[in-house]
């Protein structure tokens, strides 16, 4: 993967040419996936501190084309195990989000080029 940088006011800033991971995660399941991830991280961390035993959190993302256009369906699974006093408790949640694919494979909820649907007539 090639990293492109731009110079802005003497500062070297990485240019985002692919999918922005922070934005991508915030768009999954309309923002609900990020909330679930935050809660799972907190649940596992609290259980690890309370029991002294390790926990685990996994994110699985699958992508398949939607129809024959420039859209995909992103299936995202969040699975975690938190330790308990006598073993572990596990939860798993799987949801899907349709996304548009733009230049260089950038994924987003919305297409990069949205055309004007209505014409504005000036009088």
Number of domains in the chain: 1
> How would you write the pLDDT of the chain (123 residues) with one tens digit per residue?
445 455 556 666 556 578 888 999 999 999 999 999 999 999 999 999 999 999 999 999 999 999 998 999 999 999 999 999 999 999 999 999 999 998 889 999 988 876 655 666 655
pTM of the entire predicted model:
0.74
DSSP H stretches of helix in the chain: 21-27, 32-51
- Domain residues for 51? 17-108
- The two tokens of residue 4 are 């492109």
Indicate the length of the chain as a whole number. Answer: 123
For residue range 77-90, list pLDDT tens digits in order: 999 999 999 999 99
Could you tell me if residue 116 is inside a domain?
no
Could you tell me if residue 68 is inside a domain?
yes
């Amino acid at each position: 993967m090639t990293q492109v940088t731009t110079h802005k006011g003497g500062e070297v800033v990485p240019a985002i040419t692919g999918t922005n991971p922070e934005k991508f995660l915030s768009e999954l399941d309309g923002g609900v996936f990020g909330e679930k991830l935050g809660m799972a991280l907190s649940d596992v961390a609290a259980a690890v501190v309370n029991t002294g035993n390790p926990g685990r959190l996994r994110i699985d993302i699958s992508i398949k084309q939607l129809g024959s256009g420039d859209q995909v369906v992103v299936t995202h699974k969040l699975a975690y195990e938190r330790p308990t006093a006598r073993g572990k408790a596990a939860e798993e949640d799987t949801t899907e989000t349709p996304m548009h694919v733009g230049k260089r494979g950038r994924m987003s909820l919305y297409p990069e080029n949205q055309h004007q649907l209505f014409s504005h007539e000036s009088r």
